[in-house]
Structure 1
Amino acid sequence: MRRHARSIKREAVLAAAALAIGTFALMPMPWASAAGKPPASPAATPVADGWNGSWSVSPQSGGPSYANQTLRQIVHTSIGGTSAQVRISNVFGTAPLTVQNVHVAQRSSGSSVNTGTDKAVTFGGQTSVTIAAGQSAVSDSTAFTVAALSDVAVSFYLPNSTGSATYHQQGNQTNYVANGNVSASATLSGAVTNGSYSFLTNLDVQNTAATGSLVTLGASLTDGVASASDDNRRWPNDLAVRLQNSGRTVGVLNQGISGNRLLVDGAGQSALNRFDRDVVGQSGVRWVIFSDDPINDLGSTNPPPTSAQLITGIQQLISRAHSAGLLFLCSTLTPYQGASYWTQTGETAREAVNAFIRGSGSGCDGVVDQDTATHDPANPTYLLPAYDSGDHLHPNEAGLQAIADAVNLSLFDSTSTPPASSTVMLRAHANGK
C-alpha cells in the first residue's frame, strides 16, 4: 500500500510538470537529413527496483457486480521473473472494495491450476485488503516463478456486494466465476465464464535482466478485436514473442481499449485523460507506442476533429511522455475505407496525421508504420484483403502479426530521452528489423 501511495504522488507531479511545460517547439535533429540515422545511444540498463510489468489491461467503468464469489482470471505473461505482485483496481468503484484469499498459480488448462505452484498473495502482510473507491492496491512481493509467454491464474474472493466492477470489457480471454471462497481450489467446479477482466489490472515481476516495460496505448486494434479468444494473438502479444525470441527482456503491457479515442471520453477515458495512470503509472515503463485511438476520433465523434486537433493531442502526449522520461513511439493510422464510419473527410485527416508522424519534425522518438504494414498497395486506403477481418477496419491475426513485425526492435536498445525542456527530439524511424 505504501508503494501505491508513492505511485499516485509521482503521477500527480508528472502531470503538473506536463501542464507547466506545455507542447514542445519541435525541430529536426541536425543529422536527420544526412544519414537518416540517430547517433549511437547508451544500451538499455536493468530497471532500478527490479519490478517490471509483464501483463496488464486498462480499467474501465461499468462492469458486473459480484458477491460471495471467487474470480479466477487468466493472464498471459510477456516476460518471466522470480517474484510477482498483482494490482487490483477500484478506480471506478463507488464504495470500498474488499478482496480476500488472493492466489497466483500456473494455469494448466481451463479453470484448473498446478497446485504445486500455488502461492497465497498478501497486502501489507494480510490476506485481506479493502480498497477505497477511486484507488488501487499493489500486493506484497510473492515468491512465485513466472515463466515468459505463459498463462498465470490469479484468483481472489469477493465476500461482499461489489457494485459495478472496475473492469476491462474486451478481454479476449475465458475467465471464471465460482460461488463461495474457493481461490485455492485446483479446479473451479460449476464455474461460469466471461470474456472480461474484473478488478485485476496488472501482474508485475522481478527480473534482474529486464530493461523496462513497453506500454502499447490504443483502441480496438491494440485490444485485439478480430483475434480469436484465448489465442493471445493481439499484436502486442506477437511483439512480446518477437522481443523474447530476440533475447531482449522487455515487458509488453497492453493498454488498448476498444472504441477508445485520443481527445474525447467514451469507451473508457480518452488517451489524454488516462495517460498518467495507464502509461506513466506502469511498473518499469520506459517506452510507449501510441497506436489507433485517432481512428475512432475521426469515425465516432460528431463533428469529427480536424487533423490539426489530432496532431495537437499527439504532441501533448509526446510532451508528457518526455516529461516522465519515456520514449514515445508513434504509429501511423491504418486504412479503414469500407468501414461503417469511414468518410472522405476522415480519410483526408488520417493522411494528414500520417504525414505529420512520418515527418522529421514530429517529435516522435520512433515510428511504427502500421499503415504501410497493412494497406493494399493497389488500393492504399483499404486494408490488404489478406489482412482484413471482414469489417474493413480491424486486421485479422495475420494483419496483427504484420503490425508487430513492423516494429523495429532496436528501438528498445536505448532508454535515454532528451531533457524535458529540450526543443530537439531524438528520432529513429522503424524499419521492421
Structure 2
Amino acid sequence: MQSGSTGFEQQTLRQVVHTSIGGDQVRVRLSNQFGAAPLAVTGIGLAQPTGGAGIDVSTARAVTFSGNNSVTVPAGEEAVSDALSLTVAADTDLTISMYLPAATGAPTEHVLANRANYAATGSQIADAGLRDSKSTSAYYFLSGLDVHNTAASGAVVAFGASVTDGLGSKSGTNQRWPDLLSDRLRASGRTIGVLNTGMSSNRLLSDGPGGESAIRRFDRDVLDRPGVRWVIISDEPANDLGNDSSTRADALTGGLAELVERGHDAGIKVICSTLTQASGASYWSTAAETGRAAYNAFVRGGTSGCDAVLDLDAATQDPSSPTRLKPSFDSGDHLHPNTAGMKAIADAVDLSWFD
C-alpha cells in the first residue's frame, strides 16, 4: 500500500482479487496506513464476479469485523476481518465490495491493480451490478485476502517493484510472474500461497513516488504477513540506480544484506534476485549499468547471505546484447518484461527451494 490523493465519499467500491491457493476460510484485510483520519467502512461483502462490476448475488457473503458489518480503521492502522467459513478455489477471482459512507480523505491505495476495479455513487453492496460505475486501475484500502488451508506448507512473498507488480504483463489476465509462479507450484502438487507485494517505482533505500522504501516497508509487507516462510527480494534497486545513477553499489548491497538478516532473524528463507536489463530505458545510464553489474555480482557471490539466487538477469537478457532485454520479452519500454518475459522469470524459479 502507498499514499494516494483523491478520496471517496458515499461511494461503493468493488475490487477483484485473485487467489493463489484455495481453502476453507478467508479473511479480508483493510488498510488505512496512510490516512490522516479514521476510515469508516460499512457493508463489506464477498462474492463471485460475473464480469465487469457484476457479482453473482447468490454467492454473496457478508464480511464482519468483531461480529459487526461495519468497521472504523484508525489512521495509520490495518483491520483484519473475522474468519469467514467459505470454500474458495485456488486460482480464482473473488470480488470484495465495500461502502464508504463518509469522506475518506486521501486514500491508502495500490496504484497498479493491473486489472479494472470499480466505484459507484451510493450504497450498492447488494446489487448484482453497479449503476453509473467508473472503472479504476488501482486498489483502495484493500491490502489482502488471507486464505486458510491446513494442507498449505506456508506462503512465499514476492517483494519487489514494477517488474514484480506486473507492469508490462497483459492487464486482467493474472500473468504477473508471481501469478505464473503460483501456477507452477500448484501444478507441481505444492500448496504454497504466493503473496505479491510488488510496488511500481519502489526503491530499496529511499522513499519516492513508489511509496516507502523496501527497507521501511519490509516488516509490514513481508514479516508481518501470516504464514510466510519464504521471500523473494526482487527488483527495487533498479529504481535506486535509474533515478539516481550516483547511488553506490555498496549502499545497495548493504541494504540487501540488512533485509537478508532481518528475514533470517524471523526464520524466513531469503531468495535474492539479480536485476533485469534496462539499457535503452528512458532513465538508464552507463553509471546505472555499472551499478547493476556490481549488485548482480554481489547477489551471485558467496558473501550475500542469500539462501538462493533467482537469476532474472540470465533469464531475460538478449544473448547478443546482455545489457538489454531479449526483444521477445520486451514490453516496449526496454525496462519491463512482457507476459512472455514474466513467464521466463517464473520458469527460472527452482521449485526445490520450497521443499
Same fold (TM over 0.5): yes
Match of 2:293 in 1: 351
2:61 is the counterpart of 1:119:
yes
2:194 is the counterpart of 1:247:
no
Match of 2:173 in 1: 231
Q: Which amino acid aligns with 1:300?
A: N
Alignment coverage as a number of residue pairs? 354
Match of 2:226 in 1: 283
| Percent identity of equivalent pairs | 54
Deviations 1:261-299 (A, max 9, x none): 000000110000000101111111111101110010001
Where does 1:1-400 land on structure 2 (aligned, <5 Å)? 59-266=1-208, 267-301=210-244, 304-400=246-342
Determine if contact 2:170/2:338 at 8 Å carries over to the other structure: no
Separation of aligned partners in 1, 2:314 and 2:165? 20
Separation of aligned partners in 2, 1:189 and 1:241? 35
Determine if contact 1:286/1:327 at 8 Å carries over to the other structure: yes
Query: Structure 1 residues 63, 104: closer, same or farther in 2, change over 3 A?
Result: farther
Separation of aligned partners in 1, 2:5 and 2:163? 21
Give the structure with higher Rg (CA). 1
Match of 2:88, SS state, is coil
Shift of 1:131: 0.8
Q: Which amino acid aligns with 1:236?
A: P
Shift of 1:64: 2.2
Separation of aligned partners in 1, 2:170 and 2:136? 14
Deviations 1:55-86 (A, max 9, x none): xxxx1002421111110100011111111100
Separation of aligned partners in 2, 1:404 and 1:151? 21
Match of 2:309, SS state, is strand
Where does 1:396-411 land on structure 2 (aligned, <5 Å)? 396-411=338-353
Shift of 1:205: 1.1
Separation of aligned partners in 1, 2:296 and 2:252? 11
Separation of aligned partners in 2, 1:250 and 1:105? 23
Determine if contact 1:368/1:406 at 8 Å carries over to the other structure: yes
More strand by share: 2
Determine if contact 1:261/1:271 at 8 Å carries over to the other structure: yes
The gaps in structure 1 that reach 5 residues or longer are 1-58, 414-433
Shift of 1:87: 0.4
Shift of 1:240: 0.8
Separation of aligned partners in 2, 1:201 and 1:284? 16
Return 163-172 or 141-150, whichever deviates more: 141-150
Deviations 1:173-221 (A, max 9, x none): 1001111111122221221110100000100011111111111111110
Q: Which amino acid aligns with 1:162?
A: T
The gaps in structure 2 that reach 5 residues or longer are none
TM-score w.r.t. the length of structure 1 is 0.81
Q: Indicate the structure whose relative CO is greater, using CA pairs within 8 Å and at least 6 residues apart.
A: 1
Determine if contact 2:47/2:56 at 8 Å carries over to the other structure: yes
Separation of aligned partners in 1, 2:142 and 2:201? 21
Separation of aligned partners in 1, 2:161 and 2:343? 16
Shift of 1:112: 1.5
What is the root-mean-square deviation of aligned Cα atoms in Å?
A: 0.9
Separation of aligned partners in 1, 2:65 and 2:331? 43
Match of 2:86, SS state, is coil
Determine if contact 1:70/1:177 at 8 Å carries over to the other structure: yes
Separation of aligned partners in 2, 1:411 and 1:218? 19
Q: Which amino acid aligns with 1:289?
A: I
TM-score w.r.t. the length of structure 2 is 0.98
Q: Which amino acid aligns with 1:347?
A: E
Separation of aligned partners in 2, 1:156 and 1:145? 21
Q: Which runs of 4+ in 1 moved over 6 A?
A: none
